Copies of this chain bind each other. A is one copy, B any other.
Amino acid sequence: MIPPDHPRYRSLVTRELLAESARKGIVSLEGLTAHGRGESFDYFIGERTTESALLAERTAAALLLAACEPVISVNGNTAALAAREIAALQKACGAKVEVNLFHRTEERVNLIETLLRSAGADVFYGRAERLLPLSHDRAWCRREGMFAADVILVPLEDGDRCEALVGMGKTVIAIDLNPLSRTARSATLTIVDELTRALPNITDACKTLSGAERGRLLAALDNNYHLSEAIREMTKRLSHALD
């Protein structure tokens, strides 16, 4: 039990949720470490949605709504932290929800698909094939899912797969708290925000953006701007610590 008077209570409770998900086999042990990396970066942006992140989230909504074959790629961490938020976003934008894992076993895929369904998502499933130009398990995806997608939302993605998807000509929207990561730098659009804050903002924007606003957002898409602003926020916060 984490004592509620602990100054980092919320962060510790999230860690316990992930640890519990790891015990159940949903989250990989390596996924726990990856989560910790994200926590540090979130700390640096003040554990809030910045102005530039909100713009990125609205732009993500515009991209998903403009897509012919949008896909939301879900891994263990994403399912453990945000299954309901994924289901809500799917309803708002009509994307396929597909499970793709770095540490892939059929058992984990099934566990995560079940968790997503119980949260209300309509999970796209079926026979996976080695379709991506990658050397390990991340090469697996489904021909009518990620492989056929034109716009893919990849929360918490590995850099290799993000680069491969962009190399295949796809529009890739990443949610990544590290603006210096290969994922962040190679994605078409990077949302530097924490997953459970980012997803509801994208969902809201899907419901409220007018056609004209969507057009303006797409025309103004500039990922360098989003990465630079995130780095600027982090630098500012660090510099303040010196005052």
Contacts and interface: CB of A to CB of B under 8 A. Distances in A.
Interface string A199-234: 000000000000000000000000000001001101
A157 B30 CA distance: 21
Contacts of A140: none
Given A228-B242, A234-B238, A30 B7 contact: no
A40 B16 CA distance: 20
Contacts of A182: 7
Report the copy number of this chain in the oligomer: 2
Query: Which range holds the interface residue count of chain A?
Result: 35 or more
A19 interface: yes
Majority SS at the chain A contact face = helix
A35 interface: yes
Nearest to A239: B235
A38 B33 CA distance: 10
A159 interface: yes
A43 B37 CA distance: 10
**9 A-B pairs with least C-beta separation:** A36-B36, A19-B29, A40-B40, A32-B32, A33-B36, A36-B37, A15-B33, A235-B238, A37-B40
